[in-house]
């Protein structure tokens, strides 16, 4: 006994009460600190039971973790993205989380989100396209003959010459034509009383000359002079310009051979190209404004006369014919022209700015502002695009609703992230949260493909 107590001296027993008091104070401070931390967490909005906070990377949104940390790709600090119900909410609450996005009003202002009201207005579209001036096909005339002969003289001997109706074009010698003149004169001088049927033969000989395009004036001259002419003068059948000339003096020509092509250019056509999606804004009879760099400052007015039934497979355009008066012959075939076509399809169409529509390739989404920082992504059916960067809404919106026209891409990103997260958090049969087990990704590294779906990353403990 003396040996066991030999290590204790009176001096050591003197300090024992002080050590016990220090231990009691330390234990009290420890439990008081834990209680204070718990109160602060509750006051600062700590997560109630049944909710979880997730963290994501602003540069790599496919990285999602259930605790704070750094992005495994770029090492940036992760930011909280939401508090999500974990199988404790009702179906209505889950649908509300899925269909709407709630953002603090201050954040909305910082994001630069701007709104506009869905309105009814005229669906008017002005198409601006290009075209080529061409002669009217209805004003083209080919000069041919119906007998064989030789060109003795050309009165119009160059392309582009302007001619008028009845003006001589060329003189032609034909043995067949000369014989027909002699035959007609012989029948003309015969006595119809002494020869039965002479009058009918005379009429037949005259009709033969007419069928060979010999004019009445030329036949009358033949009857007056009584002498057949060696050559026949062929005159212009109408006013116009020589677009083509295929003969020279001394040339032999055959029946049906084209020698001249004439065109009346007092009215010209402009063939404009219109894309297939713009055809609803084109109709026969509407006004067309034509301008040319050759005539600066002049706006020529014409009208749409025909929309061709075929589509150019390469350019995906349809030809539209615009008819344009050309009294001064300032418009020449082959010129390029700018064409404006304007038409109002619907006087009271439902319109929104085109910037309000988020196009994903498979669907068109508009974000509707519901008030108090809540936004609803809504799919819409689009109609034609109108002037002033407006687009028609066929279904999905109502007049008076407010839609986002600036900052909607941030909302779209948030909507897609939350949709993917909700799919991962959908409770199974037992109400547990469905997520990848920690063993499937022990390193905490994100997938290599940035386009892969969001992944739960347990992180490190």
Q: What is the pLDDT of residue 425?
A: 56
Under 8 Å between Cβ of 256 and 146:
yes
Lowest mean pLDDT among 129-138, 324-333, 367-376, 440-449: 440-449
- Averaged over 107-129, what is the pLDDT? 87
Q: 38 pLDDT band (50/70/90 cuts)?
A: very low
Pairing of strands 252-253, 63-65: unpaired
- CA–CA separation, 374 vs 36, rounded Å? 35
Task: State pLDDT tens for residues 400-415.
Answer: 999 988 876 666 666 6
State yes or no: pLDDT of 427 exceeds 60. no
Q: Are residues 318 and 371 in the same domain?
A: no
Q: Which of 261, 278, 305 is the last residue of a domain?
A: 261
- Averaged over 409-432, what is the pLDDT? 57
The model scores a pTM over 0.85: no
Lowest mean pLDDT among 65-79, 162-176, 272-286: 65-79
Q: Are residues 238 and 156 in the same domain?
A: yes
Residue 216 placed within a domain: yes
- CA distances (Å), 105 to each of 58, 111, 371, 400, 408, in order? 20, 10, 10, 21, 15
- CA–CA separation, 100 vs 123, rounded Å? 31
Residue 28 placed within a domain: no
Q: Are residues 188 and 255 in the same domain?
A: yes
State yes or no: pLDDT of 456 exceeds 80. no
What's the number of domains the chain is made of? 4
Domain that holds residue 274: 127-136+265-346
Percentage of the chain beyond pLDDT 70 is: 71
* Backbone phi and psi for residue 320, each to the nearest 5 degrees, phi listed first: -125, 130
Lowest mean pLDDT among 185-189, 257-261, 335-339: 185-189
Q: 101 pLDDT band (50/70/90 cuts)?
A: confident
State yes or no: pLDDT of 41 exceeds 70. no
- CA distances (Å), 198 to each of 202, 204, 211, 217, 414, in order? 6, 10, 20, 23, 103
**CATH number of the domain encompassing residue 242:** 2.40.50.100
Q: Are residues 87 and 70 in the same domain?
A: yes
State yes or no: pLDDT of 421 exceeds 80. no
- Averaged over 144-173, what is the pLDDT? 95
State yes or no: pLDDT of 90 exceeds 50. no
**Sheet with 168-173, side-by-side order of all strands:** 231-235, 168-173, 149-154, 252-253
Q: Are residues 273 and 311 in the same domain?
A: yes
Q: What is the pLDDT of residue 414?
A: 63
**CATH number of the domain encompassing residue 382:** 2.40.420.20
Torsion on CA atoms 100, 104, 106, 110, rounded to nearest 10: -50
- Averaged over 305-310, what is the pLDDT? 96
State yes or no: pLDDT of 89 exceeds 70. no
State yes or no: pLDDT of 303 exceeds 50. yes
Tokens standing for 241? 């310009």
Q: 55 pLDDT band (50/70/90 cuts)?
A: confident
Q: What is the pLDDT of residue 64?
A: 79
Residue 235 placed within a domain: yes
Residue 270 placed within a domain: yes
Q: For the chain, how far is it from start to end, CA to CA, in angstroms?
A: 52
State yes or no: pLDDT of 317 exceeds 80. yes
Q: Which of 360, 387, 404 is the last residue of a domain?
A: 404
Task: State pLDDT tens for residues 191-216.
Answer: 555 566 778 888 899 999 999 888 88
Average pLDDT over the chain, rounded to an integer: 79
Lowest mean pLDDT among 46-55, 91-100, 225-234: 91-100
Q: What are the strands, taking DSSP E only, across 218-335?
A: 231-235, 240-245, 252-253, 260-263, 267-275, 287-292, 295-312, 317-325
State yes or no: pLDDT of 156 exceeds 80. yes
Percentage of the chain beyond pLDDT 90 is: 46
Residue 168 placed within a domain: yes
């Amino acid at each position: 006994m003396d040996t066991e107590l030999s290590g204790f001296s009176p001096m050591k027993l003197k300090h024992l009460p002080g050590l016990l008091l220090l231990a009691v104070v330390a234990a009290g401070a420890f439990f008081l600190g834990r209680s204070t931390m718990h109160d602060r967490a509750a006051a600062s909005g700590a997560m109630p039971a049944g909710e979880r906070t997730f963290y994501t990377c602003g540069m790599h949104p496919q990285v999602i973790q259930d605790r704070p940390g750094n992005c495994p790709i770029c090492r940036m600090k992760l930011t909280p993205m939401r508090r999500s119900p974990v199988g404790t909410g009702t179906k209505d609450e889950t649908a509300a989380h899925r269909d709407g996005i709630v953002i603090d009003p201050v954040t909305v202002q910082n994001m630069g989100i701007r709104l506009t009201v869905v309105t009814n207005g005229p669906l008017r579209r002005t198409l601006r396209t290009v075209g080529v001036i061409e002669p009217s096909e209805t004003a083209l005339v080919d000069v041919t003959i119906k007998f064989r002969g030789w060109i003795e003289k050309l009165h119009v001997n160059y392309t582009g010459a302007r001619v008028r109706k009845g003006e001589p074009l060329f003189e032609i010698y034909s043995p067949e034509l000369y014989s027909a003149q002699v035959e007609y004169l012989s029948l003309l001088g015969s006595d119809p009383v002494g020869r039965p049927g002479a009058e009918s033969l005379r009429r037949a000989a005259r009709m033969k000359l007419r069928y060979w395009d010999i004019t009445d004036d030329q036949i009358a001259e033949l009857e007056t002079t009584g002498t057949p002419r060696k050559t026949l003068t062929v005159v212009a059948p109408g006013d116009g310009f020589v677009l083509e000339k295929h003969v020279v003096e001394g040339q032999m020509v055959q029946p049906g051979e084209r020698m001249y092509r004439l065109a009346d250019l007092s009215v010209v056509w402009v063939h404009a190209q219109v894309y297939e999606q713009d055809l609803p804004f084109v109709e026969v009879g509407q006004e067309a404004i034509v301008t040319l760099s050759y005539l600066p400052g002049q706006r020529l007015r014409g009208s749409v006369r025909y929309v061709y039934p075929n589509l150019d497979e390469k350019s995906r355009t349809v030809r539209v014919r615009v008819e344009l008066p050309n009294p001064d012959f300032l418009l020449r075939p082959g010129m390029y022209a700018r064409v404006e076509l304007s038409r109002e399809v619907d006087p009271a169409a439902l319109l929104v700015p085109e910037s309000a529509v988020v196009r994903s390739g498979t669907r068109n989404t508009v974000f509707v502002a519901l008030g108090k920082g809540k936004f609803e992504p809504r799919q819409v059916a689009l109609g034609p695009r109108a002037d002033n960067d407006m687009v028609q809404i066929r279904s999905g919106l109502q007049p008076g609703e407010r839609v986002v026209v600036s900052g909607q891409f941030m909302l779209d990103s948030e909507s897609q992230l939350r949709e993917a997260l909700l799919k991962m958090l959908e409770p199974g049969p037992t109400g547990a949260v469905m997520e990848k087990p920690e063993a499937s990704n022990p390193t905490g590294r994100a997938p290599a493909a940035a386009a892969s779906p969001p992944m739960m990353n347990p992180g490190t403990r």
